[in-house]
Structure 1
Amino acid sequence: MQTLSRGIEEQVNPEKREISRVSWSVLAIMRFYLAVMVVFYHVPFFCASTDIAVKISKFLPGYAAVLVFMLISGYSIAHSAATQPKGFYLRRIERVFPVYLASIVLACLGWAIYGPAPVSAVGLFEAPASVWTVVANFFMLQGTLTDHLQTNQVTWSLSIECLFYLFAPLFTRTSTRNLLILWAVSALLYLIPAAFHLPEPNSSKYGLGAIMLLWSWLIGFLIYRHQSESWVWILALVSGGFLISHYDLGVCVYSGYMYTLAVVVIMMVKTLPAWLNKISGYLGDLSYPLYLVHFPTMLLLACSGRTAPSWLLVLGAVIMTLLVYHVIDKPYRSKLKKARMVSELS
């Protein structure tokens, strides 16, 4: 095992970056599983209190799932920025915005169709957002200059990830020692809301939420850089579970364990059954639209104070996910791929 002192002094040279030892298929399946977990975590927002989904949701740490998403994002973005620095920002925009804009349109439909009356069975959305808030959300400014749309609450985490994308090329040129300093500062700030009753990451502005969650994203970034070294896995296993367990967000008591278990799976599982490996890419591709469109879709199915059975909410979310993926996401990316091939040939 290489020593920690050697590891923290290393500067990443993208040209010498070794092939990933973490399975991309495992990460794809993990992303899909996390998205499904978030879906079931939100189902009780829109169904009757007697629905079985309400009981199940108590065992689903949706917030921890978001933090594991951050870790996986840090890993994959480290790979992208290090191995293909040219066109990095354009690739991110092309990947993120088509599905994201579709989710914002869905989020506005609740107000457009049902008006300013409460549109949730639990009364969460009593008035439409201002024009400024909607426009700012179109440009991914929630969490910096405005609030996220209440009719699609999950977008707060995506805006934080996009802030990380801005700094990813800089992070690839930053020493591990300095990244660990950033990680430590973020980890400390992450605990502040619980200690001083300050706004939480999902409701903070001016980029404070991104600073508080940077620690999890940087763990993924560091795993990509030092995945053959034991210390980075120990950091991920110990710090992640500890920080989440000591963060008072009223989340599931299993959150810390879930984060640690996810790191163990990523670290230990290198191969998948043949049948699962074949569909891993497809399920991984579905995870992004599923995460973004499930909330406004379920809201539309349970508007104006009505409730809906959990099976209908989940089915609606799945159907909308498939529509957005096959009508918007996949065709758009296929068109871009062909355009790049033509450009390279010419």
Structure 2
Amino acid sequence: MRCTPTCFRALFQHLDLKSRCSCIRLQRRSSSSSAISTQTDATRVNVKVGLESSVPLSIHHAPRPTSQTPVIIYLIGPRPVEPSTFPSLSALALASNATVVGIHYRLSTKQSYPTPVHDVLAGFDWVQKHLARVAVQIDRAEHSVETANVGVCGELVSGSLATMLALTECRPTNGGVKAAAVGNAIVDWTSLFPAGDNGIPPAVSYREATPERSPNQCGPSLSHDSLLRLRSRLFTRPEKYFDPFASPLLFFRTPGCDLTSPVDDIHARQAFDGPSADDSTTAHDASSAEIQKRRSPRKYPPRGSELRLPYMRFDVGIESSVREQGEDMVEVLSKSAKHWEDDLSGGLDREAVSKRIQLVERNGLGLWGDDELRELGTWFGDVLRK
């Protein structure tokens, strides 16, 4: 049976982490590269996803490569894949002296979750196989395989996917993720409530989203209402965003709310697209679909797993409506890192934890530009060579 990230939500309390990750890998083994082409400053690779789909990768090689040059995966949402979109990746490669791989995942109303999760995992598998493992000659008869350190980064929806990848593929060996940097990552879709639903007014709107704006280009549209409408477009059912692969904060705690009734998403979709003839019937049938949830901590990574939390950096804008999500994520990660290291080696002090898990506040919405990417490149260049 083919596994999807949604199935993991239902099985979360019944499967240990090792079983979960094994199931993921069974679903992904069919991924392989199908075509390679070269452009002026980037190599293009199409990686198969399943039987009939593929995801494009753009590869920018390090300007000064060595036998253990790090690899940084940059997640990119839907947009035209042209050379004019590549300068940021080149700037990141230059600042970090790392090979930078852009994974151009699919995401739309027709290719909703978990499609982008499958694309990102397929691209990561390709990077592990073709870029993160390097054969090094020992002598004429022997050679060894060395593993390059891997980082991942992304903003907004890409930041959510980057966080998911960093938390589920962070084995310290075999090309696991060693560092992640995300900007205004949406790590908990379940924390978004319709106006008046919980008595808390939505955040101030900066600019409303439009149907033509791609999911990852909602930068200036970080208002509460905009994110609610975006959620209704990207998830066909509420239970899909209660999945930790879509809302990575749920790896560390249960949701602090009921499983949102489909009625809420119907209302959000009506505001976006206009009502349909079937909406009233669907809303009536969905009224009994709520499941009571209580927030409680989850241990992650679980004891005995092969995972080790990577270096993680969360950039948040002080005026961003997802700022609190970033702060919450840093808090649970810091606690997890402290407890995990306590079990392994007697513990980390507060300063050591703060160096491993960082919160960076930026002015305004805090969206990344070339200057921020160069700063991130310097950070990656440091932590990926430790």
- Please give the range of the TM-score, normalised by the shorter of the 2 chains: under 0.3
Q: Which has the higher contact order (CA 8 A, sep 6+)?
A: 1
TM-score (norm 2): 0.24
> Would you tell me which structure has more strand in proportion to its own residues?
2
TM-score (norm 1): 0.26
> Would you tell me which structure has more helix in proportion to its own residues?
1
